[in-house]
Amino acid sequence: MDSDRPIMPKGQIVYGEVVYYLTVVSCLVCIVGPLIALIDPEDNVMNPYFTFAAIFQGHSAQEVWTIVGGGFPGGHFWMDNFFTGDGFTQFGLALGCTSAGFALIVAAVVYAFEKIYLYTGFCLFVSAFIFLAASGLVQF
């Protein structure tokens, strides 16, 4: 029965493993980040207590940023605020969203060692699109 099953290429196995573990790590980061924010609410881009109050009052996202944070600091504000609760949480979100890009790079290396250069090229091409989209350079 097992002989009828197709053999899974190593590149696909490695891709799946990398995405799996990066997603687990990003989930753990996104659990720890809010805890840090609630433990030290003053050391955040936006105080979570005032943020929740503004949200429950029915303000829009732009109004909440203006009222609580003094305006939206930009898409990747976590880079300047990594050791704050909300910065750490946003890092976890960015890691989870780009996990496929990192996994494609690792899969490209595996395909290159196996001399499957077409798949290597596809992996690098798609990962470039993922990182370009995540960078914020392309906006619609």
Distance, in Å, from the CA atom of 127 to the CA atom of 103, rounded to the nearest integer, reads: 8
At residue 19, the pLDDT reads 96
> Distance (Å, rounded) from C-alpha 91 to C-alpha 3?
44
Q: What is the spatial distance between Cα 90 and Cα 129, in angstroms, rounded to a whole number? A: 21
Q: Render each residue's pLDDT in the chain as its tens digit; 140 residues.
A: 567 888 888 999 999 999 999 999 999 999 999 898 888 888 888 888 888 888 898 888 888 888 887 877 777 777 787 888 888 888 999 999 899 999 999 999 999 999 999 999 999 999 999 999 888 777 66
In sequence order, the 6+-apart residues with CB closer than 8 A to the CB of 51 are: 64, 68, 69
Q: Which token pair is 105?
A: 């790079």
What pLDDT score was predicted for residue 138?
A: 74
How does DSSP classify residue 73?
-
Q: How far apart are CA 19 and CA 25, in angstroms?
A: 10
Burial class from Cβ neighbours inside 10 Å (0-12, 13-18, 19+) for residue 122 reads middle
CA angle in degrees (0–180, nearest 5) for 15-83-66: 105
Tokens of 77: 């504000």
